[in-house]
Amino acid sequence: MSDRYSIKDGRILNRTCEVNIVEHCNLRCRSCTHLSPVLPKHFVDPGALSADLTTLAGSYRVNVLKILGGEPLLHPDLPAVVLAARKSQVAEKLEIWTNGLLLPRMERRVWETVDSVRISLYPGRSLKQHQLDRCIDLAHQHNVPLRGMLLGQEATYRNGIKIDDAPDFRDRLLSYLKSPEPLPACRNCLGSSGKWFEHQQVGREEFRQAQGLATEDLIHPRLVGTARLALARAESLLPRTVVNTAEHVMRSSDPLVGLLRKLQAFNSSRFSG
C-alpha cells in the first residue's frame, strides 16, 4: 500500500473518501453492510461536518467525496450538507450514493452542487418510468452524470482517527492510512466470504436474527480453505499498481463481468443458503 498515497502541496492525496450523513434508510435490505435496518434515525449536523471536512482538507485531498447513508436523501438539510462538503475543498468532486427512490424530490440546489449521482438498484424497488424520466431530465439540465451501479495510542480513535488541527495531524493520518493492522471492526466482517442468497427486504427482528448465527454458518464453503488463503497471500505480495490495473480491466470488460456473474450464479445454485 506504500505506493497508494502521495503528498502534494503539503496534503495527502487519495482517490476517495466517504461521509455517512444519515444512519437509517427507507429500505430494509437483509445484507445491508451499514446495519441501517436496525439503526435509529441520526442526521449529521452540517456545521459540524463543515468544521471536520475543512480541518481535514488542510492535510488531505481526494478526487471524489462520496456522500452516503443509510439513505442520504433522507437528510432534512441535504443542500446544506453538500454545500458544506463543497466549500471545505477536501475533494475535487462530490458524488451522492442513493437507492434512487427519493431522487425525484431532491432539491435543485443539490443537483447544482454535486458532480454525479450513483444509484444502487435493488430488486423489487425502483422508480416508475415517469419518475425516472424526470430524474434523467434534471441530471441533464445540471450536467450531472447518473451512474448505476498499528498506531500509537495517542493516534488511534477506535475504528478511525480523530480529525484535529494539530501540526502533526497529516503525518499521523498518513501513518494510519498506511498501517497494515486491521481495524477492530474487521473482526466482525466476512469480507467476500459470506454465503450468497437472494436479495430480500426484511423486518428489524428478522435482520437481527440473521446476524446472530455462528460464523461457520455464514461463510460460503467455496470461498474458504487453503486455496483461498493461498490466493489472498499471493495478492498481498503484488504491488498495489498491479492490483489496481487488474481490477480496472475486470470492471471495464463487459464480457468478463458477464462471465463472473454467471460463475457467481452457478456457485450460488450449488451452495445456496
CA distances 85 to 62, 75, 114, 145, 248, Å, are 12, 14, 10, 19, 28
pLDDT of residue 273: 46
CA distances 74 to 43, 63, 102, 133, 235, Å, are 9, 25, 8, 21, 39
pLDDT of residue 95: 96
CATH of domain 6-149: 3.20.20.70
Helices (H) and strands (E) in the chain, counts: 10, 6
Q: Residues 64-96: pLDDT tens digits? A: 999 999 999 999 999 999 999 999 999 999 999
User: Going edge to edge, which strands form the sheet with 60-68?
Assistant: 6-8, 11-20, 60-68, 91-98, 116-119, 146-148
pLDDT of residue 164: 82
Say yes or no to pLDDT of 236 above 70: no
Q: Residues 18-46: pLDDT tens digits? A: 999 999 999 988 888 888 988 989 999 99
State how far the Cα of 91 lies from the Cα of 64, in Å rounded to an integer: 6
Q: By C-alpha distance, which of 194, 257, 251, 197 is closest to 228?
A: 194
Cα angle vertex 20, ends 16, 25, to 5°? 130
Cβ proximity of 94 and 113 under 8 Å: yes
Domain ranges of the chain: 6-149, 189-270
Cβ proximity of 46 and 77 under 8 Å: yes
State how far the Cα of 44 lies from the Cα of 79, in Å rounded to an integer: 12
Say yes or no to pLDDT of 151 above 90: no
Cβ proximity of 144 and 114 under 8 Å: yes
Say yes or no to pLDDT of 107 above 90: yes
* b/e per residue 96-127 (b: at least 16 CB within 10 A): bbbbbbebbebeeebbebbbbbbbeeeeeeeb
Single-letter residue type at 131? Q
Q: Residues 178-203: pLDDT tens digits? A: 777 777 777 667 777 777 777 788 88
pLDDT of residue 63: 95
The three grid cell numbers given for residue 78, joined into one nine-digit string: 441535504
Q: Catalogue the E-assigned strands of 134-182.
A: 146-148
- Higher-confidence residue of 250 and 182: namely 182
* b/e per residue 19-34 (b: at least 16 CB within 10 A): bebbbbbebbbeebeb
Q: Partners of 148 in the beta sheet? A: 119
**N residues, the chain:** 273
